[in-house]
């Protein structure tokens, strides 16, 4: 047993308290949350453009390419 708090945290993450499956579950949960946030940001961006009166042809090509690239990355992640 150690009284070093940093050592105890390292040991906790390395498997003393969390099994491999738990680490995988944490990673998947974090990934899903980040994907949800990215989709929400894209939705908000498109809503803001719509609220500002932009129609599809008025949105700069570079912006649409960027949004489509993020959507493509999300689809590839799934």
Quote the number of domains for the chain.
1
Q: 57 in a domain, yes or no?
A: yes
pLDDT at 1: 46
Q: What is the mean pLDDT of residues 28-54?
A: 86
pLDDT at 6: 54
The tokens describing 7, both together, are 């050592």
Structural domain including 67 reads 19-77
Residues comprising the chain, all counted? 78
CA distance readout (Å), 46 to 56, 71, 76, 77: 10, 12, 21, 21
Q: What is the C-alpha to C-alpha distance for residues 66 and 64, in angstroms, rounded to an integer?
A: 5
- The pTM for the full model equals 0.56
The tokens describing 29, both together, are 């949960």
Q: 32 in a domain, yes or no?
A: yes
Q: What is the C-alpha to C-alpha distance for residues 42 and 59, in angstroms, rounded to an integer?
A: 14
């Amino acid at each position: 047993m150690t009284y070093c708090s940093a050592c105890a945290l390292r040991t906790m993450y390395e498997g003393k308290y969390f099994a491999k499956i738990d680490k995988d579950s944490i990673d998947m949960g974090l990934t899903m949350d980040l994907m949800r946030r990215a989709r929400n940001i894209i939705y908000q961006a498109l809503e803001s453009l719509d609220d500002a009166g932009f129609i599809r042809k008025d949105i700069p090509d570079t912006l649409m390419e960027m949004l489509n690239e993020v959507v493509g990355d999300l689809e590839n992640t799934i």
